[in-house]
């Protein structure tokens, strides 16, 4: 990238699923990469260099972490976790959240077995193909009437959607932050970001976003699965999407503002994509308020898509869908953690990394206290996805991986397979595909990704989480 003169990184194996980058140069803390040897980034210097760069951020504590699905990203690697001490000059960096703010996953469980789905599969998939807006264009489940209503979405998230009659109380209980992040500040969202967000509430978008109909395939942890409401053979719906053009614009706006402000705070970063500002500064607070607003937009988005899926399941299969959980994997949160024997207020950046609260955590709803938090890991299109749970003493501030992690760029992926061929391959394995462009399909070929089961195995081996259930696809609606 931009580090031609930088010294080579010294990566030392510290455990079966752990590698360390010792402090070097301006690094304030070591880097820690949770991975097996096979999963280490290939020629992965770029992603590893980013782990080292993040370790230079003001106020960073313990380590700059990378998850087993780590790959190169904007500023921070995707699969990066970093916490800064709010009361000790800790910064917030938009690159530590990424462009798709609050991109995340929602899992719904049907009162239906896969065997019973076969007779209604075609009308069900056609119905989903019809009601789920996707791709880069406009169109959404719910037309927001204008700026005032969009502000209500930004302030209230899923809670506002449910108040408007789109869903029920359980949808809030089983959502991270009970469906809405408290500190949202729609004032910090630019007119351009608002404009981009207006027509897209309740839409999938492109890239690796999808709505997938799945079956529970394998249940390594029956007690946790039962607490989550999952059983072998059951039909589920997984929705993976984020905050669309609104989140992207917020990232762009605030990176620009912070880049201009850094000299005032005497902050220097090794890469301008790591632009940041103290959490307590006006710029830091403005970003966190806008980021929270985008998080609420993302949650409302998934809530509305879930409602659309519920209508189709009721019509086509006479089935209901209950929310298992909804969790983001691109977010910064203010959390209290024990560091060096003292409770510290930290700003925890998780970018392509999922919060994984352990059993007994006060942030969990009553009915999940004993099991720990459901962690939702989407696989690659047409491969399996996983449900995990948080573990006691979870490392990296209770974080784990977020998916398979790219191996090939979109550009490289297109050269390996044609979209038509890929669709035929999926359908020959009994996976129904609806509504994707050929190019979009080819960009998301499973060959472009690491093996999600290897990623999940490494995350469990590293003590970040525990496997609860494996889900395999029956049908996919693709951005």
Give the residue numbers of the binding site.
100, 208-212, 240, 329-330, 378-381, 385, 402-405, 478
Query: Per the annotation, where are the binding residues for GMP?
Result: 208-212, 329-330, 378-381, 385, 402-405, 478
For residue 187, give the 3-state DSSP assignment: helix
Closest residue by Cα to residue 384 from 317, 429, 414 = 429
Distance between CA atoms of 14 and 20, rounded to whole angstroms? Answer: 6
Closest residue by Cα to residue 61 from 320, 361, 426, 338 = 338
Contact between residue 281 and residue 275 where contact means Cβ atoms under 8 Å apart: no
Query: Per the annotation, where are the binding residues for Mn(2+)?
Result: 100, 209, 240, 329
How many other C-beta atoms can be found within 10 angstroms of the C-beta atom of residue 203?
24
Element of type H or E holding 339 = strand 330-339
- The CB-based long-range contact list for 214-219 (8 Å cut-off, 24+ gap) reads 214/238, 214/385, 214/471, 214/472, 214/473, 214/474, 215/114, 215/471, 215/472, 215/474, 216/469, 216/470, 216/471, 217/384, 217/469, 217/470, 217/471, 217/472, 218/469, 218/470, 219/468, 219/469, 219/470
Half-sphere exposure of 382 (CA within 13 A, CB side): 22
The C-alpha angle 385, 172, 160, rounded to 5 degrees, equals: 115
Distance between CA atoms of 185 and 195, rounded to whole angstroms? Answer: 16
For residue 16, give the 3-state DSSP assignment: coil
For residue 358, give the 3-state DSSP assignment: coil
Distance between CA atoms of 372 and 149, rounded to whole angstroms? Answer: 35
Active site (annotated) includes residue 402: yes
Distance between CA atoms of 164 and 184, rounded to whole angstroms? Answer: 19
How many other C-beta atoms can be found within 10 angstroms of the C-beta atom of residue 477?
26
Choice among 3, 166, 402, 411 that is catalytic: 402
Closest residue by Cα to residue 346 from 42, 56, 4, 90 = 90
Looking at the DSSP assignment, which residues form a beta bridge with residue 109? 236, 322
The DSSP bridge pattern shows strands 210-218 and 78-85 to be: unpaired
Question: Looking at the annotation, which residues are catalytic?
Answer: 402
């Amino acid at each position: 990238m931009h580090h031609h003169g930088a010294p080579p990184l010294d990566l030392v194996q510290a455990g079966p699923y752990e590698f360390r980058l010792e402090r070097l140069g301006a690094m304030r803390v070591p880097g820690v990469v949770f991975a097996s040897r096979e999963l280490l980034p290939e020629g992965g210097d770029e992603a590893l260099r980013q782990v080292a760069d993040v370790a230079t951020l003001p106020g960073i504590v313990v380590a700059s972490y990378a998850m087993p699905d780590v790959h190169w990203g904007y500023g921070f690697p995707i699969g990066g976790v970093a916490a800064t001490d709010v009361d000790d000059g800790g910064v917030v960096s938009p690159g530590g959240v990424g462009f798709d703010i609050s991109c995340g996953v929602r899992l719904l469980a049907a009162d239906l077995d896969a065997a019973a789905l076969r007779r209604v599969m075609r009308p069900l998939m056609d119905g989903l193909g019809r009601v789920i807006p996707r791709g880069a264009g406009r169109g959404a489940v719910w037309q927001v009437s204008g700026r005032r209503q969009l502000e209500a979405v930004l302030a209230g998230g899923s809670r506002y959607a449910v108040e408007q009659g789109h869903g029920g109380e359980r949808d809030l209980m089983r959502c991270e932050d009970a469906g809405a992040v408290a500190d949202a500040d729609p004032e910090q969202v630019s007119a351009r970001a608002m404009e981009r967000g207006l027509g897209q509430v309740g839409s999938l978008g492109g890239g690796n976003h999808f709505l997938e109909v799945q079956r529970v395939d394998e249940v390594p942890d029956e007690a946790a699965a039962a607490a989550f409401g999952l059983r072998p053979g059951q039909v589920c719906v997984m929705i993976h999407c984020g905050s669309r053009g609104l989140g992207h614009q917020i990232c762009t706006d605030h990176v620009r503002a912070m880049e201009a402000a850094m000299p005032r705070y005497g902050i220097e970063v090794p890469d301008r994509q790591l632009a940041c500002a103290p959490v307590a500064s006006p710029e830091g607070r403005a970003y966190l308020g806008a980021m929270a607003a985008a998080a609420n937009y993302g949650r409302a988005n998934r809530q509305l898509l879930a409602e659309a899926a519920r209508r189709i399941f009721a019509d086509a299969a006479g089935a209901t869908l209950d929310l298992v959980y909804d969790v983001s994997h691109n977010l910064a949160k203010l959390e209290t953690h024990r560091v060096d024997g003292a409770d510290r207020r930290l700003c925890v950046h998780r970018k392509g990394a999922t919060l994984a609260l352990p059993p007994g955590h006060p942030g969990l709803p009553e009915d999940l206290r004993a099991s720990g938090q459901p962690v939702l890991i989407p696989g690659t299109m047409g491969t399996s996805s996983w449900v995990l749970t948080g573990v006691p003493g979870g490392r990296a501030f209770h974080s784990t991986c977020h998916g398979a992690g790219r191996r090939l760029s979109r550009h490289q992926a297109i050269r390996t397979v044609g979209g038509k061929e890929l669709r035929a391959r999926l359908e020959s394995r009994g996976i129904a595909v609806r509504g994707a462009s050929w190019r979009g399909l080819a960009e998301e070929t499973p060959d472009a990704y690491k093996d999600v089961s290897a990623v999940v195995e490494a995350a469990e081996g590293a003590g970040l989480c525990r496997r609860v259930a494996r889900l395999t696809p029956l049908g996919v609606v693709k951005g």
